[in-house]
A and B are shown apart, each in its own frame.
Chain A
Amino acid sequence: MIWASVQDTITGCSSYLVGDELTGQALVVDPLQSKTVAYYVLMAQDLGLSISYVVDTHTHADHESAARELAEAAQATLALSHRAPVHFAYAPLKEGDRFHLGSVEVEVWEMPGHTPDSLCLVLRDLDRGGEPWLVMTGDVLFVGDVGRPDLGESSEAAVKEAARAQFQSLDRLMELPDYVEVYPAHFGASHCGGLYMSRKYCSTIGYERRYNTLLQSRDPDRFVAEQLKFLKPPPEHARQVRAANLGVAAGSR
């Protein structure tokens, strides 16, 4: 497995490139417009890889995604949750879908909460073993924190429902073994988490199970109450950013 992570330390956004030595294929997850499409294309080329898949873990509200443009530039498959409310064509990903880059297996988990179209990607290196090695958690689980529930619909009922869904999704992540590495879409400075978000960009399931404050209670009501305590104003330009990522004009949604 070839692995590269790309961070925007100003906005606290992470994106990832995963490749396979044998086939020379690569997958890019959550590419950032702030890094530019050319950055990812040239990075893949430099690593001797051709990008064949581009995936966004969910419709981002805090930063512009480069996914659509990158998929076009690399003639790659753009794959999003089948629930993604976007206005352009893509390959729909559903719960349990698996796709392969040579020996790298990517399994899709639908993990609603932060947004209804949130995905986690569970990765295995079949050359080394059949167990999961790492999980890209999108905005479900962060290092020290979890994704906020209020960036989709902002009514109190909708936020509570999203928080409850987030609890279920986190519960499911906690079924993974301790050693599985965690790679979220955000860290530190990001708007998408709450008070406890670490500036470190990766962790493990075991460490988060032990020390993530929001994972300590196994009671959904307490989890929801805890999440509501830390609500804060949406990121600046959230509406416009989300509209751009959905492929519609700002203000029309």
Chain B
Amino acid sequence: MADASVLRGLWEDIEPGPMLLLDLRPPRAFHHDHVPGSVSTPYRLQGFGPSVAAFLSDRGGPPFALVSDNQIVLDAARQALQASGLTPAAAIVMRMAEWTEAGLPSVRVPDLSVDHLFTDREQFVVLDVREPYEWRSGVIPGALTLPMGTVPDESGQFDRGRRYAVVCAHGNRSQAVASFLAEQGFDVMNVAGGMMAWLQAGYPVQETAAP
């Protein structure tokens, strides 16, 4: 598998920039644990090449490296990018455990079960990132409601001394927000299963009208 010196070499290339690291793993795996500053570009069977090409060209066409935990996925992605006229500066198969073992930093978002959140609710600031129309199904009592798109502007006001539990409908959007906040250095967990799990478990919600 991946050699520690190769991984350290990769980090030396991407940490100062401008080289971008594109992570091909499924979003769930990425948001759970990823290289700081890397971008989630999960490989998909349809439209992968053109979407990465558009993303890179928006950023002025920087050099980029690819990483995946699977050789087959890496090869398929490389082929799709080639068809879109893109060639990576490096392409590496590695698991995040190998990255960490090489002494390199990572951004992690641990999962938080609704049971754990309910029991220890005093310890968390609950951040609900759903859209206003979704509040009709109820909001966790005391939660901060900030739709996903507003979080980057508002996160400057967040309390670095507190621990945040991010929640959405199913736990996917909240995972992306949580990993964004983790990257900013906040102490943050993702509520696994989101409001679906919270409501299914029968935990209380407060009625909240959409504005």
**Contact-residue size bin, chain B (C-beta under 8 Å from the other chain):** 20 to 34
Contact between A74 and B70 (Cβ–Cβ < 8 Å)?
yes
Nearest chain B CB to A42's CB is how many angstroms away? Answer: 6
Return the contact of A38 from the options B28, B69, B72, B170 (Cβ within 8 A): B72
Partner-B contacts on A (CB < 8 A): 21-24, 37-38, 41-43, 45-50, 73-75, 127
Q: Is the CB of A48 within 8 A of B72?
A: no
Query: Which listed residue (A24, A37, A43) contacts B28, Cβ 8 A?
Result: A24
Complex Cα gap A45–B73 (Å):
8
Q: A21-B170, A24-B28, A42-B76 are in contact. Are A73 and B71 (CB under 8 A)?
A: yes
Which 5 A-B pairs have CB atoms at the shortest separation, nearest pair first? A24-B28, A48-B26, A41-B72, A46-B45, A38-B72
- Interchain CA distance A22-B26 in the complex, whole Å: 13
B49 CB-CB contact with A under 8 Å? no
In the bound complex, residues from chain B placing their C-beta under 8 Å from that of A73 are 70-72
Given contacts A48-B42, A74-B70, could you give 9 more A-B pairs where the C-beta distance is less than 8 Å?
A21-B171, A22-B171, A42-B45, A45-B26, A45-B73, A46-B44, A48-B28, A49-B26, A50-B28
Name the distance in Å between A93's Cβ and chain B's nearest Cβ.
25
Nearest Cβ on chain B to A35's Cβ, whole angstroms: 13
A40 CB to closest chain B CB, in angstroms?
A: 9
- Whole-angstrom distance from the CB of B207 to the nearest CB of chain A? 25
Contact status B72-A22, CB under 8 Å: no
Nearest CB on A from B131, distance (A): 20
A43's closest neighbor in chain B, by CB?
A: B45
Q: Give, as a whole number of angstroms, the nearest-CB distance from B27 to chain A.
A: 6
Contact A42 B29 (CB under 8 A): no
| B27-80 contacts to A (CB < 8 Å) | 27-29, 42-45, 69-73, 76
A179 CB, min distance to chain B CBs, angstroms? 21
Contact residues in B for A42 (Cβ distance below 8 Å)? 43, 45, 72-73, 76
Question: Who on chain A is nearest to B73 by CB?
Answer: A45
Q: Which residue of A lies closest to B113 (CB)?
A: A22
When chains A and B are docked, how far (Å) is the Cα of A38 from the Cα of B77?
Answer: 12
Q: Given contacts A48-B27, A49-B26, A50-B26, are A41 and B70 in contact (CB under 8 A)?
A: yes
A43 to B45 Cα, complex, angstroms = 8
Closest B residue to A25 by beta carbon equals: B28
Q: Nearest B residue to A24 by beta-carbon distance?
A: B28
Kindly provide the distance from the CB of B158 to the nearest chain A CB, expressed in whole angstroms.
26
Q: How far is the CA of A49 from the CA of B28 in the complex (A)?
A: 8
Q: Is the CB of A24 within 8 A of B71?
A: no
**Given the complex of chains A and B, what is the CA–CA distance between A47 and B46 in angstroms?**
12
With CB as the reference atom, state the residue of chain A lying closest to B68.
A45
Residue ID in chain A nearest B192 by CB atoms: A22
Enumerate chain B residues within 8 angstroms of A22, measured Cβ to Cβ.
171, 192-193, 197
C-alpha gap A49/B29 in the complex (Å): 9
Q: How far is the CA of A49 from the CA of B24 in the complex (A)?
A: 12
Q: How far is the CB of B179 from chain A (nearest CB, A)?
A: 14
The interface residues of chain A lying within 8 Å CB-to-CB of B192 are 22
Distance of A21 Cα from B168 Cα, bound (Å): 14
Taking CB atoms and an 8 Å cut-off, the chain B residues in 66-107 that contact chain A are: 69-73, 76, 95
Between-chain CB contacts (< 8 Å), 8 pairs: A22-B192, A43-B45, A45-B42, A45-B70, A45-B73, A47-B26, A50-B25, A127-B200
Cα separation A23 to B172 with both chains bound (whole Å)? 11
For the complex, give the distance between the alpha carbons of A46 and B27 in Å.
10
State A47–B170 Cα separation when bound (angstroms). Answer: 16
- Considering only CB atoms, which chain B residue lies closest to A39 in the complex? B72
Q: Mark B179-201 against chain A: 1 for CB-CB distance below 8 A, else 0.
A: 00000000000001100010010
What's the nearest-Cβ distance from chain A to residue B40, in Å?
Answer: 11
- Nearest chain B CB to A111 CB, angstrom units: 33
Chain B: which residue is nearest A44 at the CB level?
B26
Residues of A close to B24: CB separation below 8 A:
45
Chain B window 1-40, contacts with chain A (Cβ cutoff 8 Å), 1 for yes, 0 for no: 0000000000000000000000011111100000000000
Tell me how far the C-beta of A104 lies from the nearest C-beta in chain B, rounded to whole angstroms.
13
* Residue with the highest number of chain B CB atoms closer than 10 Å, among A45, A46, A48, A75: A45
